[in-house]
C-alpha cells in the first residue's frame, strides 16, 4: 500500500537525518549558518564547505523529511481514516522539531533546547516505525493466527520490553545532557572517572558523566533480560527473535563506542 511505502521511506529518510544531525554538534558546525531558517548566509544552496556542509546539509535533509511527512499525513487522512490522528501528531512533531532547531540557532545553543531537539527527533523516528507497522498490508488468516499466538506467548516479556524502551529513552536524555553541557571529556579514566582512580569527583558535571556511564550498564542488563524473555516466549515470530538477538549486540556496540571515545580522546569526530 502506498501509505505503507511512504511511511517506510519517511522512516529511512529520518534515520539518515539523525545520522547527519549527529555530525553537526561534534564538528562544531551548529552555528555555521547564522539564520534560524532554511537559508544559510542568505542562500538556499550556499557553497557546501566547512561547517556549512554539516549544518546546512542537516537543514536540507530536515526539509526533505518535512515534505515526506506532509505527504504521509495527507495519505493517512485520505486512505486510512483510523490513523488520521497519528498523521497529524507526526506532522506536529516535525513542525515542533523544526521550531526547536530554529530556536537552537537563534539563541546560540541553549542546552535544554538542544536536548529537547535530540529527544524529539528520536521519538519521531520511533513513531514513524510504528506508523510503518500500522500501515502494513492486511495480514492473512494464517498471519492473524500467528499474531494471536504471539500475544499469548509473550506474556511477561512485554513488561521487560517496555522497561527496556524506557531505559533507552532515559539513557538518550543522559547522553544528550552529557553532550550539550560539555561533559563528554570531563572523565578521562576508564572505568573510573579520573586516571587516578577517583570514581565520583566533587564536580557535578563529572558526576553526570559517570551516571551516564553507569546507566549504560543498566540499559545493557535490562536489554539482555528483555531479549532473553522474548527468545524464550516468541516461538511464533522468527523476525521478533532476530530483533531480540540484535538488541543486546547494538547496546554493546554503543558502549564500546563510548569507551573508545574516552580512551582515544576523539569526542569531535565520533561522539
Please count the other Cβ atoms lying within 10 Å of the Cβ belonging to residue 125: 18
- 3 state DSSP class of 43: strand
The pLDDT, as a whole number, for residue 139 is: 63
The pLDDT, as a whole number, for residue 183 is: 87
Question: pTM (2 decimals)?
Answer: 0.87
The pLDDT, as a whole number, for residue 129 is: 95
Instruction: Please state, in angstroms and rounded to a whole number, the distance separating the CA atoms of residues 164 and 223.
Output: 5
For residue 3, CA distances in Å to 11, 14, 229 come to 12, 16, 33
The pLDDT, as a whole number, for residue 269 is: 45
What cell numbers appear for 21 in the block? Answer: 544531525
Please count the other Cβ atoms lying within 10 Å of the Cβ belonging to residue 82: 8
Q: Which helix (H) or strand (E) holds 58?
A: helix 51-79
Among the listed residues 143, 127, 125, the one whose alpha carbon sits nearest the alpha carbon of residue 135: 127
Q: Determine the longest span between alpha carbons in the chain, in angstroms.
A: 63
Provide the β-strand partners of residue 43: 40
Q: Which residues contact 124 (CB under 8 A, 6 or more apart)?
A: 14, 90, 93, 94, 97
Among the listed residues 77, 70, 74, the one whose alpha carbon sits nearest the alpha carbon of residue 93: 70
Please count the other Cβ atoms lying within 10 Å of the Cβ belonging to residue 114: 21
Mean pLDDT in runs of 10 for the chain (271 residues)? 92 96 87 89 90 93 96 94 94 95 90 93 96 82 63 78 96 94 88 87 92 96 94 80 94 93 67 38
Helix, strand, coil percentages in the chain from 3-state DSSP, rounded to 5: 75, 0, 25
Query: CA gyration radius for the chain?
Result: 21
Cβ atoms of 58 and 17 closer than 8 Å: yes
Counting every residue, how long is the chain? 271
The pLDDT, as a whole number, for residue 141 is: 56
Q: Which residues contact 111 (CB under 8 A, 6 or more apart)?
A: 177, 180, 181
Domain ranges for the chain: 1-138, 141-271
Amino acid at each position: 500500500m502506498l501509505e505503507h511505502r511512504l511511511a517506510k521511506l519517511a522512516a529511512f529518510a529520518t534515520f539518515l537525518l539523525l545520522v547527519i544531525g549527529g555530525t553537526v554538534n561534534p564538528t562544531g558546525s551548529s552555528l555555521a549558518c547564522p539564520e534560524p531558517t532554511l537559508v544559510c548566509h542568505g542562500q538556499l544552496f550556499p557553497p557546501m564547505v566547512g561547517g556549512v556542509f554539516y549544518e546546512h546539509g542537516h537543514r536540507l535533509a530536515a526539509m526533505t523529511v518535512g515534505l515526506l511527512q506532509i505527504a504521509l499525513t495527507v495519505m493517512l487522512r485520505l486512505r486510512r481514516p483510523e490513523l488520521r490522528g497519528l498523521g497529524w501528531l507526526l506532522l506536529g512533531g516535525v513542525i515542533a522539531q523544526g521550531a526547536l532547531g530554529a530556536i537552537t540557532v537563534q539563541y546560540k545553543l541553549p542546552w535544554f533546547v538542544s536536548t529537547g531537539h535530540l529527544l524529539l527527533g528520536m521519538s519521531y523516528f520511533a513513531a514513524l516505525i510504528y506508523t510503518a507497522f500500522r500501515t502494513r498490508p492486511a495480514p492473512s488468516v494464517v498471519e492473524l493466527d500467528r499474531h494471536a499466538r504471539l500475544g499469548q506467548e509473550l506474556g511477561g516479556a512485554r513488561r521487560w520490553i517496555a522497561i527496556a524502551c524506557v531505559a533507552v529513552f532515559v539513557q538518550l536524555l543522559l547522553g544528550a545532557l552529557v553532550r550539550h553541557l560539555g561533559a563528554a571529556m570531563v572523565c578521562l579514566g576508564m572505568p573510573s572517572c579520573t586516571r587516578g582512580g577517583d570514581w565520583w569527583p566533587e564536580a557535578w558535571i563529572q558526576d553526570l558523566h559517570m551516571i551516564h556511564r553507569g546507566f549504560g550498564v543498566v540499559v545493557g542488563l535490562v536489554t539482555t533480560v528483555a531479549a532473553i524473555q522474548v527468545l524464550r516466549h516468541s516461538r511464533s515470530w522468527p523476525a521478533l527473535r532476530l530483533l531480540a538477538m540484535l538488541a543486546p549486540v547494538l547496546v554493546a556496540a554503543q558502549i564500546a563506542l563510548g569507551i573508545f571515545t574516552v580512551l582515544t580522546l576523539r569526542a569531535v569526530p565520533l561522539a
